[in-house]
Structure 1
Amino acid sequence: MKQNFTVRQGALDGVEVFLSVAQHRSFRRAAAQLGMTPSAVSQAVRVLEARIGAALFIRTTRSVGLTEAGERFLSQAKPAFEELVAASEVARGLGQRPTGLLRLSVPRAAVPILLEPLIASFCQAYSEVEVEIAATKELIDLAAEGFDAGIRLGQFVDADMVAVPMTPPFRLVVVGSPAYFAGRTQPRHTDELRQHACVRWRRSNGALALWTFNDSGHPIEIAVAGPLIASDFSTMLGAAVEGVGLAQVPEPIAAEALKTGKLVQVLEPFAPMTPGVFLYYPSRRQIMPKLRAFIDHVKRRRGDLGNVAGET
């Protein structure tokens, strides 16, 4: 089926030439401005007039004037062409230097631990870039939702994404509060989790996540039970601190609570390693400067982020 175009293909051909001739009232001066020969300018105008179906200029041996059709065409074509040129300049600017809006999709738990220091230093270094952080649990389609990049645990990054590590690998740890363990025996083996209340995590796809462990080099998964289901690690951590039950969370998220004694780690020999946190974005040949600047900034600050992630 033939495609119908809102603007006919080639409809803009010759418009810039027309505007230059209309401005100078001279084919020769328009040719000099555009770097064309006078005959090429005349030909471009003739083609434009033929396509429109009306004469745009009145030509004599001594002068060039506009017809009524030319006047009307000029009144609408000039501001439209200027808008097009301005839009091109804006787009060119975005393609040549770090500027514009950088949209990032991130998990809520990563904001205070990883992003706050990173974003603060990035904004100071690149004042022309605005950063928008959408904190959400959903694994969204970056391109469809208009995001430049996302930040997620490595195991949740699709294989067709370009992934840049932000932290070293870290463990998933099981933690509980001293209040929870008052009168209870701490579990020494994963089988004993059946005797404990566990805070569960519902994934963005609706499934309840199994707890994963490493038993002498063999990965195992266990379905746990408990009184609370959360949709993000921050809520799970807060519930564990309040004594609701045990929670399995990334070690960096629990680091401060473990350090201050609000939480106690159990089942440490079974804690599995995860790939860490990654910045990811769709594979494309040309990356916009704003995203390239952020990627380079992440790489420069990766050592600092690793120290944050490793404080346990």
Structure 2
Amino acid sequence: MEDRFVGIREFVLTVEKGSLTAAAAQLGITGSAVGKSISKLEARLGVQLLHRTTRRIDLTGEGEAYLLSCRRVFEELEQTESFLATGHQHPIGRVRVDLPTTFGRRHIVPTLLDLAERYEKLDLDVTLRDQPVDMVAQGIDLAVRIGELGDHPDLIARRLGEQHLMTCASPGYLSRRGVPLSYADLFQHDCLTGWRRGARPAWLLKDEQGKFERHEVSARHELTDGDALLEACIRGAGLAQLPVWLAGEAIQSGALVPVLPEISGASMPIHVIWQKTWHMQPKVKVTVDALTQLAAARSDIFNAKCDAL
């Protein structure tokens, strides 16, 4: 019977080392032998995994997907062997985490770095973006999401807290342009918003029935980064709707002033989500546990409300 594992180790090492020669040196065989093993693997799978030229090796689309699966298998095997040898399951391998840009950079990445220092065999692969992503297709182990979650049967979610929004402006801007007193007044002001592909600029505001809905606003500046949005608001460029975890210090210092509190103050949940598998890998478990502990210890971030400032 054909050996289904022929070429897998050679394939992974070639990608990680960047060449057949480097992979061969690691394995103690010739570059030609490595190339033949990968060719046999491609023939068995019926797809091309690598684009090979005289100067470089690149993954094909199928190669990228197969590489993710191979790495997962190797990590599972290493963790199982570690458990058999020591009787304890230690987090081993690369944990792939997807985070909201500003929130992740400010409040999640430091915890992940602390975790990696604690576990020397735990490696990080962190992406920062504010667009939804298919975690299963892209091989992401866990993610932090702000907002309501859809129905995803392949994912598990744990609530960490909630994000509260507030509309605010600098004292200088308000003295120059006046204080808005109603939703209609917003159309007489310069509004600062985040940018979303294919969506009109909008804020979450309370309607006449007391429900928070998306209301279009006239945006003068659209900025994709939360810190840039905060800076623009502090410098008097306009009104902005900002999360309390981002604007709280500026409000406490007087650099920003809350406005329209009667129709602002929407909240949305913060979750950590991960892929549903028959066995929760130690690397995923310790990361989820660390984020849960962070949320419990930092209510000023994960449950900060406008009236608590």
> What is the TM-score with the length of structure 2 in the denominator?
0.66
The equivalent position to 1:246 in structure 2, one of 239, 258, 278, is: 239
Letter in 2 for 1:218: K
Letter in 1 for 2:160: M
CA distance in 1, matches of 2:105, 2:237: 23
The equivalent position to 1:145 in structure 2, one of 138, 141, 148, is: 138
Residues 226 and 245 in structure 1, CA contact (< 8 A), matched pair in contact too: no
Aligned to 1:173: 166
Structure 1 position 106 matched with structure 2 position 99: yes
Structure 1 position 304 matched with structure 2 position 297: yes
The equivalent position to 1:281 in structure 2, one of 260, 274, 281, is: 274
Quickly say closer, same or farther: Cα 1:183–1:127, change in 2 above 3 A. Answer: same
Q: Deviations over 1:262-282 (max 9, x none)?
A: 111111122243233211123
Please tell me the root mean square deviation across aligned C-alpha atoms, in Å: 2.6
Residues 199 and 226 in structure 1, CA contact (< 8 A), matched pair in contact too: yes
Residues 135 and 141 in structure 2, CA contact (< 8 A), matched pair in contact too: yes
Shift of 1:287: 2.3
Structure 1 position 12 matched with structure 2 position 3: yes
Structure 1 position 235 matched with structure 2 position 247: no
Residues 201 and 219 in structure 2, CA contact (< 8 A), matched pair in contact too: no
Structure (1 or 2) with the larger CA radius of gyration = 1
CA distance in 2, matches of 1:143, 1:257: 38
CA distance in 1, matches of 2:289, 2:213: 37
CA distance in 2, matches of 1:109, 1:117: 13
Letter in 1 for 2:2: A
Quickly say closer, same or farther: Cα 1:208–1:281, change in 2 above 3 A. Answer: farther
Q: Deviations over 1:117-136 (max 9, x none)?
A: 42243223323211222111
The runs of 5 or more residues in structure 1 that have no matched partner are 1-9, 16-75, 81-86
Shift of 1:88: 7.2
CA distance in 2, matches of 1:144, 1:220: 32
Q: Deviations over 1:203-247 (max 9, x none)?
A: 2x4312421112462234321113211223332222111211111
- Count of matched residue positions in the alignment of Structure 1 and Structure 2: 230
Quickly say closer, same or farther: Cα 1:218–1:89, change in 2 above 3 A. Answer: closer
Residues 201 and 217 in structure 2, CA contact (< 8 A), matched pair in contact too: no
Match runs of 1:144-293 below 5 Å: 144-155=137-148, 157-160=149-152, 161-167=155-161, 169-203=162-196, 205-215=197-207, 217-293=210-286
Shift of 1:90: 5.2
Q: Percent identical across equivalent pairs?
A: 23
Letter in 2 for 1:207: A
Shift of 1:98: 0.8
The runs of 5 or more residues in structure 2 that have no matched partner are 7-32, 38-71, 81-88
CA distance in 2, matches of 1:282, 1:117: 23
